[in-house]
């Protein structure tokens, strides 16, 4: 396998996550209804189910159509309905390849799901989750992020949306299509804002507090959360945020987005003045065309020499258009608009092992230190020896494979997370809390004896408290990434309790977990989340000093 740098890993993140289809035995999102529950919301009555102490509503429309003459534009107003509308099945996900156990993808995809302990007018914190999958795949109905256990065990309301993705959600047409398509490069983000507006208007009917809403998300969902944190349109609708393994420090510039649009029009043989022909191209053809263009990563680096955006990015993701997204979310500073909103940010210790699993990379596990040097040189050039030396000094007992995973993992998701924490602290506003998730799965990467450890995406099932013993007392099944060890249930409870307490109060806390101090530039405390949690000051201090010295942080 050839060496792949951080940019390439992240630009392929959507493909990797697309391959990550959780087998049905791993998590069950099928619930036997004990009774039906009816709720009246702004546009009519809906019917959900009550199962195992949780009321569940799926496929609720939160905005109108985005197909036809609404393609690339704000959704049409949602039309009211008469009678009682069933909210028993997931709604269509955004246009993408078919998804396991979900409806066929469709352009009109603006549906959301709600999990609540009860529709009882109690003011519970609302946890509004944005799914991962880069900016091109995923849905609010993925089994691993089922909100049942989080709602039942921690007395919160969970909301997850489907929203436009890829070309249909982020094609920048502002410069060719005029005022009617203003904000076109951020329609996928504005859909999420429509979901937040729906929460403001309706969540009290589900026992949630519209005045206490936490936005959170992992991978691409973390980057979406970074954008929401910086968007004026989203500001009135949430109170705190968590950015997990997807630090959206920078997004696509208008200039690069315009180049991507020009590339697309050329590929379709459409002159810019005839851009309206895009409205007639079948969505399936647009999906095929989307696959020919690069993917946008959850965050974009600066060129350390030019101080400018690298120009080899294309694809479709949020655009810094100066209006919907006024500036890069965390560059050059944390967004002033969210100065007083508490923030969680962090990453998994072994992010890279997910990508090794997905790409069938077994070579890394056999590296010696000479091989490590050769593997990293194409990416880091003259800095390679300095990087390896710093890691060997900080981790004297680590193997070459261990050091490769550590370097790859921190450069993918860690440096951006630290950058966000530091910039948030410098605002001197609401606190920011930095974490590492570190529970170690014993499962081996196929073709190697190297354990998965804490791979990218493993945190999803843990923080949703979906790593728990079966309620019927039967023997637990193996977790897809988390393995067989029963200690994972303790780590999952810690993770979920920390996050739900943060949603409730703005400060993460849990029983049997040390007090988690806010991040400061003096002590740099990091909470390591595991079966036993611990606060580590100045974690990775030697490694981070080295990354700063070569301009990577």
3 state SS for 221-245: HHHHHHHHHCCCCCHHHCCEEEEEC
CB 176 within 8 A of CB 261: yes
**225 half-sphere exposure, CB direction, 13 A CA radius:** 35
pLDDT tens for residues 130-179?
999 999 999 999 999 999 999 999 999 999 999 999 999 999 999 999 99
**546 half-sphere exposure, CB direction, 13 A CA radius:** 19
pLDDT band at 15 (very low <50, low <70, confident <90, very high): very low
- The two structure tokens encoding residue 146: 């089922």
H or E element at residue 59: strand 54-61
Do you find a cis peptide bond into 332, omega within 30 degrees of 0?
Answer: yes
Is it true that 32-341 and 342-549 share their CATH fold? yes
Which one of the listed residues 107, 351, 358, 497 is annotated catalytic? Answer: 351
3-state class percentages of the chain: helix first, strand second, coil last, to nearest 5: 35, 20, 45
pLDDT tens for residues 416-446?
999 999 999 999 999 999 999 999 999 999 9
Which residue matches tokens 């998965």?
452
pTM: 0.94
CB 221 within 8 A of CB 246: yes
Tell me how crowded residue 226 is: count the other CB atoms within 10 A of its CB. Answer: 31
Instruction: Give pLDDT, residue 13.
Output: 44
CA distances from 206 to 57, 118, 311 (A): 10, 7, 46
Alpha carbon distance 476, 470 (integer Å): 6
pLDDT band at 8 (very low <50, low <70, confident <90, very high): very low
pLDDT band at 30 (very low <50, low <70, confident <90, very high): low
pLDDT tens for residues 313-351?
457 999 999 999 999 999 999 999 999 999 999 999 999
Q: Is residue 3 pLDDT above 80, yes or no?
A: no
Instruction: Give pLDDT, residue 296.
Output: 63
Q: Pick the range with the lowest mean pLDDT from 33-47, 70-84, 286-300.
A: 286-300
Do you find a cis peptide bond into 8, omega within 30 degrees of 0?
Answer: no
Which one of the listed residues 11, 139, 184, 219 is annotated catalytic? Answer: 219
Q: What angle do CA 201, 42, 197 make, to 5 degrees?
A: 30
Q: Is residue 25 pLDDT above 90, yes or no?
A: no
Annotated active-site residue 408? The verdict is no
- The two structure tokens encoding residue 120: 């009882």
pLDDT tens for residues 267-299?
999 999 999 999 999 999 999 999 887 666 555
Alpha carbon distance 425, 275 (integer Å): 45
CA distances from 455 to 240, 281, 437, 442, 481 (A): 26, 39, 9, 11, 8
Alpha carbon distance 451, 444 (integer Å): 4
Which one of the listed residues 43, 456, 493, 494 is annotated catalytic? Answer: 456
Angle between the N-to-C axes of helices 384-394 and 400-409, in degrees from 0 to 180, rounded to the nearest 10: 110
Q: Is residue 197 pLDDT above 80, yes or no?
A: yes
Instruction: Give pLDDT, residue 314.
Output: 57
The dihedral through the CA atoms of 363, 368, 370, 372 has a sign that is positive
In CATH, the number for domain 32-341 is 3.40.50.1820
Domain ranges of the chain: 32-341, 342-549
H or E element at residue 499: helix 487-505
CA distances from 75 to 9, 69, 71, 403 (A): 33, 10, 8, 48
DSSP one-letter code for 413: I
Q: Is residue 11 pLDDT above 70, yes or no?
A: no
Which residue matches tokens 């196929």?
446
Share of the chain above pLDDT 90, in %: 88
Q: How far is CA 477 from the centre of its chain?
A: 26
Share of the chain above pLDDT 70, in %: 91
Q: Which residues contact 330 (CB under 8 A, 6 or more apart)?
A: 226, 230, 247, 248, 249, 250, 419, 420, 423
pLDDT tens for residues 495-550?
999 999 999 999 999 999 999 999 999 999 999 999 999 999 999 999 999 999 99
CB 171 within 8 A of CB 184: yes
Instruction: Give pLDDT, residue 298.
Output: 52
Q: Is residue 33 pLDDT above 90, yes or no?
A: no
By residue count, the chain amounts to 553
Alpha carbon distance 330, 313 (integer Å): 19
- The two structure tokens encoding residue 534: 């611990």
pLDDT band at 372 (very low <50, low <70, confident <90, very high): very high
Which superfamily is assigned to 342-549 in CATH? Alpha/Beta hydrolase fold, catalytic domain (3.40.50.1820)
Q: Which of 205, 33, 212, 209 is nearest to 120 (CA)?
A: 205
For 211, phi and psi rounded to 5 degrees?
-95, 5
């Amino acid at each position: 396998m050839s060496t792949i740098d951080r940019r390439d890993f992240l630009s392929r993140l959507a493909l990797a996550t697309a391959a990550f289809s959780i087998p049905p035995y791993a998590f069950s999102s099928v619930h036997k209804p004990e009774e039906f529950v009816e709720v009246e919301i702004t546009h009519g009555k809906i019917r959900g189910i009550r199962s195992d102490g949780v009321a569940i509503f799926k496929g609720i429309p939160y905005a109108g159509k985005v197909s036809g003459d609404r393609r690339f534009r704000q959704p049409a107003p949602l039309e009211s309905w008469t009678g009682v509308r069933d909210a028993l099945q997931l709604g269509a996900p955004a246009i993408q390849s078919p998804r396991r156990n979900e409806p066929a993808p469709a352009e009109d995809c603006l549906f959301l799901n709600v999990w609540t302990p009860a529709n009882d007018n109690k003011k519970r914190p609302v946890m509004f989750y944005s799914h991962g999958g880069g900016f091109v795949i995923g849905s609010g109905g993925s089994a691993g992020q089922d909100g049942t256990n989080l709602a039942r065990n921690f007395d919160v309301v969970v909301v997850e949306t489907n929203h436009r993705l890829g070309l249909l959600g982020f094609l920048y047409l502002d410069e060719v299509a005029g005022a009617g398509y203003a904000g076109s490069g951020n329609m996928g983000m504005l859909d999420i804002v429509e979901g937040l507006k729906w929460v403001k208007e309706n969540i009290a009917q589900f026992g949630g507090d519209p005045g206490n809403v936490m936005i959170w998300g992992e991978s691409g969902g973390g980057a979406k959360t970074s954008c929401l944190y910086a968007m004026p349109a989203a500001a009135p609708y949430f109170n705190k945020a968590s950015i997990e393994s997807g630090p959206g420090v920078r997004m696509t510039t208008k200039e690069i987005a315009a180049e991507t649009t020009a590339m697309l029009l050329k590929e379709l043989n459409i002159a810019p003045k005839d851009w309206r022909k895009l409205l007639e191209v079948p969505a399936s053809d647009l999906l095929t065309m989307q696959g020919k263009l690069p993917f946008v990563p959850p965050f974009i680096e600066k060129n350390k020499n030019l101080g400018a955006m690298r120009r080899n990015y294309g694809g479709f993701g949020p655009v810094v258009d100066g209006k919907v997204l006024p500036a890069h979310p965390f560059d050059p500073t944390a967004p002033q608009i969210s100065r007083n909103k508490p923030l969680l940010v962090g990453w998994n210790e072994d992010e890279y092992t997910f990508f090794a699993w997905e790409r069938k990379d077994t070579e890394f596990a056999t590296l010696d230190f000479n091989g490590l040097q050769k593997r990293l040189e194409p990416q880091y050039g003259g800095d390679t020896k300095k990087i390896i030396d710093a890691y060997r000094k900080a981790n004297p007992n680590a193997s070459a494979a261990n050091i490769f995973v550590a370097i790859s993992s921190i450069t993918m998701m860690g440096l951006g997370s630290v950058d966000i924490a530091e910039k948030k602290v410098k605002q001197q506003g609401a606190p920011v809390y930095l974490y590492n998730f570190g529970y170690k799965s014993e499962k081996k990467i196929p073709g190697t004896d190297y354990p998965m450890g804490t791979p990218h995406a493993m945190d999803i099932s843990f923080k949703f408290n979906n790593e728990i013993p079966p309620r019927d007392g039967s023997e637990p099944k193996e977790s897809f990434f988390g393995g067989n060890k029963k200690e994972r249930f303790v780590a999952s409870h810690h993770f979920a309790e920390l996050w739900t307490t943060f949603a409730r109060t703005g400060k993460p806390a849990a029983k049997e977990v040390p007090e988690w101090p806010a991040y400061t530039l003096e002590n740099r405390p990091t909470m390591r989340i595991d079966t036993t949690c611990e606060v580590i000051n100045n974690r990775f201090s030697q490694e981070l000093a080295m990354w700063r010295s070569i301009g990577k942080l």
